[in-house]
Amino acid sequence: MSKEQEKFVIFGNPVAHSKSPQMQNAGFESLDYNGIYEKHQLLDGNTIKETFLQNNYEGANITVPHKEFAYKNADEVRGLAQRIKAVNTYINENGKVIAYNTDAPGFLKAIESFGKVKSVLLLGAGGTAKAIALALQENNIEVTVLNRSEGKLEFFKNEGINCYSWEDFEKEVKEKEFDLIVNSTSAGLKDEYLPCDKELLQTLFKSAKYAFDCVYGKITPFLALAKENGLEIKDGEDMLLYQGVLAFEYFTKQKVDEKVSEAMRKGLKKE
Ligand code: NDP
């Protein structure tokens, strides 16, 4: 008797815009894996575990605003996610909900194309910044966080990461040089803002080599300015792809090759 089709899902609110189903389903198709991946708009993050189990999902991705709820509700959290305190992947292991964060290794894989990076200035201090900062720290890459406001810096201070608000930064580290500047703020996502002061960025770009923006599928004002200043630039497509590929490997319990990840990339880019 053939095995029943396995169900997978992305939880978010809103979730209609998510490209994860087309990416994950392209992976299943390329591997001839009997799985189906759907969207689920989840209103109350506190119900995430029961919703996951009651619907017999084998695996899930979790997006805004539920990553912290998903962390708190899991039966077991594995890997760096224990420190990030937010997860984007659930796996059903014999009725137990196991949680991972694949945004962090997805980011590291995405910046591999830049070659060796020694020091990073990370703009923003939201959920994505937490994953990126800890991933860099774990890989012995020096990381400094710069955020518009003070409020979200506590997490980074507690993890021993250098962090500043716009107010303190200029006087403390204006002279410092970074190889890579990362925009993990939402500036540029739906607007045309830079993630920090233009003059400051131009000074930083003089000594930097690379610029990465977590925003996917567009040249943000941040990337445009970096390019103008001669930096090698990259948007968030690879990060989105690799977090998805790593989740896919947990879902299907196997390592996948380039053929599958390229099929997933094609799926992601389908209109
Ligand atoms: P959060 O809402 O958790 O954090 C947003 C951060 O952006 C805060 O630090 C906030 O600063 C800062 N910010 C917002 N607007 C501005 C502005 N105009 N100028 C300067 N700083 C600003 O968001 P996330 O961390 O979840 O997501 C951040 C970005 O990363 C989004 O654009 C998202 O689309 C993208 N992303 C991409 C992924 C990928 O795979 N490619 C994966 C996940 C996210 P303050 O504290 O002062 O409010």
The domains found in the chain, sorted by start residue, are 6-101+238-269 (3.40.50.10860), 105-235 (3.40.50.720)
pLDDT tens figures, 164-220: 999 888 777 667 899 999 999 999 998 999 999 999 999 999 999 999 999 998 999
- What span, in angstroms and rounded, lies between the C-alpha atoms of 169 and 146? 7
CB of residue 243 inside a 6 A radius of ligand 1: yes
pLDDT tens string, the chain, 271 residues long: the values are 467 999 999 999 999 999 999 999 999 999 999 999 999 999 999 999 999 999 999 999 999 999 999 999 999 999 999 999 999 999 999 999 999 999 999 999 999 999 999 999 999 999 899 999 999 999 999 999 999 999 999 999 999 999 999 988 877 766 789 999 999 999 999 899 999 999 999 999 999 999 999 999 899 999 999 999 999 999 999 999 999 999 999 999 999 999 999 999 999 999 8
Nearest to 238 by CA among 208, 209, 211, 217: 217
Which element (helix H / strand E) includes 155? helix 154-158
Token pair of 224, please? 């445009």
Rg of the Cα trace of the chain? Answer: 19
Nearest to 146 by CA among 199, 108, 185: 185
Token pair of 101, please? 């964060």
Helix/strand/coil for 12: strand
Q: What is the pLDDT of residue 169?
A: 86
- Whether the CB-CB separation of 183 and 195 falls below 8 Å is answered with yes
Q: What is the pLDDT of residue 2?
A: 60
CB of residue 193 inside a 6 A radius of ligand 1: yes
Catalytic residue (choose from 39, 67, 130, 152): 67
Q: Which atom of ligand 1 is found nearest the CA of 151?
A: 46
Q: What is the pLDDT of residue 170?
A: 76
Task: Give the residue carrying structure tokens 């997006």.
Answer: 63
CB of residue 215 inside a 6 A radius of ligand 1: yes
- Whether the CB-CB separation of 144 and 172 falls below 8 Å is answered with no
Q: Strand (E) positions, the chain?
A: 6-12, 35-41, 57-62, 76-77, 89-93, 96-100, 119-123, 142-147, 162-165, 180-183, 210-213, 232-234
- Whether the CB-CB separation of 172 and 164 falls below 8 Å is answered with yes
- Whether the CB-CB separation of 242 and 109 falls below 8 Å is answered with yes
Give pTM, 2 decimals: 0.95
Kindly give the distance from the C-alpha atom of residue 124 to the centroid of ligand 1, in angstroms, as a whole number. Answer: 6
Kindly give the distance from the C-alpha atom of residue 187 to the centroid of ligand 1, in angstroms, as a whole number. Answer: 7
67 is catalytic: yes
- Whether the CB-CB separation of 179 and 199 falls below 8 Å is answered with no
Instruction: Please state, in angstroms and as integers, the Cα–Cα distance from residue 213 to each residue in 107, 174, 182, 227, following that order.
Output: 11, 21, 6, 12
Kindly give the distance from the C-alpha atom of residue 254 to the centroid of ligand 1, in angstroms, as a whole number. Answer: 32
